[in-house]
Structure 1
Amino acid sequence: MAIVKLSATERRRLSVFFTCLSLAIIAWIFTTLSDPLPYKVKKVLTFKNAPQKRAFHSLQPDTVDATIQGNGWQMLFSRFNSDNKPLVVDLRSLETRNYVVIDSTQLKLMNMGKDPANRVSSIDPDTLYFDFSNRLIKKVPVQLTMGVSYQKQFAVSGNIIVRPAYVTVSGPIERLKEITSWKTDSLKFSNVNETINTRISLKPSNEGNLNVYPRSVQAIIPVDEFTEKTLEIPVKLINNNNYYNVKVFPQKIKVTFTTSLSRYADIDEDLFEAVADLNLWRDKDYTALPVKLIHMPPFCKVVRISPANIDFYIKK
């Protein structure tokens, strides 16, 4: 194979040629990418000013093709763009008709606060159609979503209060039949050692035809330090249907439990009820009866019962 040998001058000229060619290509790319170039991206729609007297649902997906009036550089880096906020559509016109046209007023609302490089020039489809049905108002209980951890020896010491306990949901009748409660955002605290009193937002509706009021509630979680207490509780015999003369030993058991410091002095044996079931002897030949607590104060936790089983004898 013939090998072309170039002189030093020819190699220098060839190097200059390729350098100039590379610079020309780079300059062309920069120029081309800097020219105006509309491009399309997927955008999610969200709605505001929904009709208060008309329930509706959208007849098209909530994702549309939005045309951005940018340039080649913006199109090239659009997938890395952090502007993933939904586009806002004003639904005031649905009070008198069943469609919304994406006109200059709607586009101005969509572009409000946006960087000029991310402004929308049009969307496809440019007309949004809606289906209407009768609107219903329903009250449902608030479901508090919690992720709370406590310091050692601290815990919930009373009923958790949510104000208001119920929220008003309005929307299509068929949709409201499926809703039995409404969750809050997750309430997150760690290492808690005192009562929590805070406001927490409700989960937002993902459907434009559902409205929830109010949008936040007050949550009160009573928290107190817990300690152990021991009481002697009398044992009551149950299911003595034949009225046997039964003696149990011991007649009282010791119950050790945890309770909050604020309620420590108020808790006595009258708040507990312990029973032993004579049916276990009659039906299953038990020779000792296990003790069961059927009543105890709320937010108390049993540590141990001593003894857990009692002896008995029957006089015939």
Structure 2
Amino acid sequence: MAIIKLSAIERRRLSAFVTCLAVAIVAWVFTVLSNPQTYKVKQAIVFKNMPQRRAFHSLQPDTLNATVVGSGWKMLFTRMSESNDRVTVDLSTLESKNYIVLNNQLRQINARRDAEHQIIGFDPDTLFFDFSNRLIKRVPVKLVNGVKYQKQFMQSGAIVIKPSHVTISGPAEVLAKISAWKTDSVNLKGQNESYHSRVNLQPSTEGNLTVLPKSVIVNIPVDEFTEKTLQIPVRLINNRHYYDVKVFPQKVKVTFTTALKDFADINEDDFEAVADLDQWTQGYRVLTVRLTHSPSYSKVVKIVPQNVDFIVKK
């Protein structure tokens, strides 16, 4: 293989040539990218000024292609980021029409954009809508609860949400599928005190659905829990033939956890322990004790004894 040997002068000339060529290429790239370019960008559609007397359903996807005029740098950065910009479409004319011509809103759409990144057209240019009667419905708010408590602390009462219901309006077929509206997730760790805060509602995924209000006040009572033991009388059930039945013992010890604020107020009247005589007819020699009533937000730890003896006098 032949090797070309260059003299020192020739090497300097070659080096100068390569340098000039590189500078020329860089200058050409800068010149091209500095000139205005026309390119297409995918844009997400956001609606505003939605009609109040007509429910609608968009017949197009929630994105469209916009033809944009901007510098080559803008085009390059847009392609590199692959981000979907948003186009805000005014629906106020839908009160009397069933379509929106996007080119008629170019001025107000571009007013929200920088001067070097202007839209000159859309594909599709016209958005069509299907209409139905707009109905109103009230549904309860459902809290998305992700609270984790510190040891010995728990929820000590009912969660209060104000307002407890929201008003939604939209097409009848959409409202028929909605029975409740969820909040954003309330995620707490090591909670050891009551929670009281404003929580946003989850946004609607339907462009033709309105939800009011947008947020609610959530109150979650939290307290420290401790154990308490009470003697609870055992009541016999299903004594269908009214036999004279005696159970032994007549009371059982129920150990449960309760919030400190309720500790002094909880007594045996808040519990009901029963023994089912039907177990005797099924061949059991002892009757199982179970609780049919206990205070809310209290957790039964143990019942002693879990079974009671009995004597039946016919």
Q: CA deviation at 1:70?
A: 1.6
Contact 1:89 1:109 in 2 (8 A): no
Q: Given the two structures, how large is their TM-score scaled by the length of structure 1?
A: 0.93
Task: Sort the Cα spacing of 1:199 and 1:82 in 2 relative to 1 into closer, same or farther, 3 A.
Answer: farther
How far apart are 1:232 and its partner, in Å? 0.3
How far 1:82 sits from its partner (Å)?
8.4
Q: Distance in 2 between matches of 1:153 and 1:109?
A: 58
Give runs of aligned pairs for residues 27-46 of structure 1, distance below 5 A: 27-46=27-46
Partner of residue 220, structure 1: 219
Q: CA deviation at 1:85?
A: 4.8
Is the CA contact 1:88–1:109 (under 8 Å) kept in the aligned structure 2?
A: no
Q: How has the CA–CA distance of structure 1 residues 28 and 127 changed in structure 2, closer, same or farther, with 3 Å as cutoff? A: same
Q: TM-score, normalised by structure 2?
A: 0.93
* CA distances 1:98-138 after superposition (whole Å, capped 9, x unpaired): 1112246x334434554445443432222211111111111
- Report deviation, 1:276: 0.8
CA distance in 1, matches of 2:208, 2:149: 40
The within-5 A match list for 1:226-237 is 226-237=225-236
Q: Closer, same or farther in 2 for the Cα pair 1:109/1:268, shift >3 Å?
A: farther
- Correspondence 1:172-183 to 2 at 5 A: 172-183=171-182
Q: Kindly provide the amino acid, as one letter, of the partner of residue 61 in structure 2.
A: P
| Matched letter for residue 212 of structure 1 | V
Deviation by residue 1:52-98 (Cα, 9 ceiling, x = unmatched): 00000111111011223222222222144486453211111111111
For 1:292, give the aligned amino acid.
R
Partner of residue 307, structure 1: 305
State how 1:75-154 maps to structure 2 within 5 Å: 75-81=75-81, 84-103=84-103, 106-111=105-110, 113-154=112-153
What SS class does the counterpart of residue 74 from structure 2 fall into?
helix
TM-aligned CA deviation for residue 219 of structure 1? 1.2
| Counterparts of 1:203 and 1:280, CA distance in 2 | 51
Look up the match of 1:25. Answer: 25
Q: Which runs of 5 or more structure 2 residues have no equivalent in the other structure? A: none
Provide the C-alpha distance between the structure 2 equivalents of 1:73 and 1:181, rounded to a whole number of angstroms.
48
Name the counterpart of 1:207.
206
Distance in 2 between the 1:111 and 1:277 partners? 77
Contact 2:141 2:183 in 1 (8 A): yes
The equivalent residue for 2:244 is 245
Give 2:51's aligned residue.
Answer: 51
Q: What's the Cα RMSD here?
A: 1.9
SS in structure 2 at match of 1:37 = strand
Conserved 8 A contact 2:236-2:276: yes
Identity, in percent, stands at: 59
1:195 Cα deviation (Å)?
Answer: 1.9
User: Structure 1 residue 154: deviation in Å?
Assistant: 1.5
- Whole-angstrom distance in 1 between the partners of 2:285 and 2:41: 78
* Equivalent residues in 2 for 1:151-170, closer than 5 Å: 151-170=150-169
Distance 1:122 1:219 in 2: 46
